[in-house]
Structure 1
């Protein structure tokens, strides 16, 4: 693990608050069962998502700001920056890696539309 990665993990940790385990979540037509509680980001937000400063160029960001859930997952499992991250728990402030999945933009758009139809 690089020094930069260790530094970013230490920077992210103080902003995370463990809450309850989500229940009754339907995702892509299936009920999900979670074994870990959400870890909510309690730092700055851009309205709906937590945001945190990173070195410019890290994860392909130009302005040095990245969404916290993307950073949390990237630090555990680096992924192509063009991919989307979906919150299985439906909590946009959640940074628990087991609640996040990497998906393509088309899949993300389809799931978002289904959530709007279902009212989630």
Structure 2
């Protein structure tokens, strides 16, 4: 077995409302994303805001590394859920978890998203691929 697992294909909460979005072209912009995200979700439980920042950074890093720019990160709200959604322009590579990779070997972004978020999935439109993770607010 190769240890690769596909994420479920689904859209996150169709009635979600965008709170904020960021367009990233380089890894240098990740620090600003983390800081802004933590500031916006400061009212949530400390662990949730920290986990959201980690997942947003990991998913954005994956999109910058493997996708085509720009990477768009959106923070959405749907009822009692906050959703991080990261889009890139590589429609040909479905996100896959490498469950056989040892800790410290890199490539753990999707594993962290699954561990920290309530729900994780992905979907594609005609122009973008989206990976998302939801959290309690």
How does the TM-score come out when normalised to structure 2? 0.29
Structure with greater strand share of residues = 2
By relative contact order (CA 8 Å, sep 6+), the higher-ranking structure is 2
Q: Normalising by structure 1, what TM-score?
A: 0.32
